[in-house]
Amino acid sequence: MPTVVDCPTCGKKVEWSEKNKYRPFCSERCKQIDLGAWAEEKYTIPGTAPTDPLEDDKQ
């Protein structure tokens, strides 16, 4: 029995198999929508800004 997942973009049920070249998405359209969201920085990973090592030398 194949694994079925929800498309991250539209929520449609999708079979997770090699036959689905867009997995985990249901279609190329949903895949492109997700890619566009990453490009527009709608998804972020929380964290702090890195410190500048040259600033540490000035103290």
* Nearest-angstrom CA–CA distance, 44 and 35: 13
- Residue 46 in any domain: the answer is no
26 is in an annotated binding site: yes
10 is in an annotated binding site: yes
The pTM score is: 0.67
**What single string gives the DSSP state of each residue in 9-44?**
TT--EEEESTT-TTTTSSSHHHHHHHHHHHHTT-S-
CATH number where 24 lies: 3.30.50.10
pLDDT at 22: 94
Block mean pLDDT (10 aa), the chain, length 59:
92 93 95 93 83 67
pLDDT at 56: 60
What is the tally of structural domains in the chain?
Answer: 1
12 is in an annotated binding site: no
41 is in an annotated binding site: no
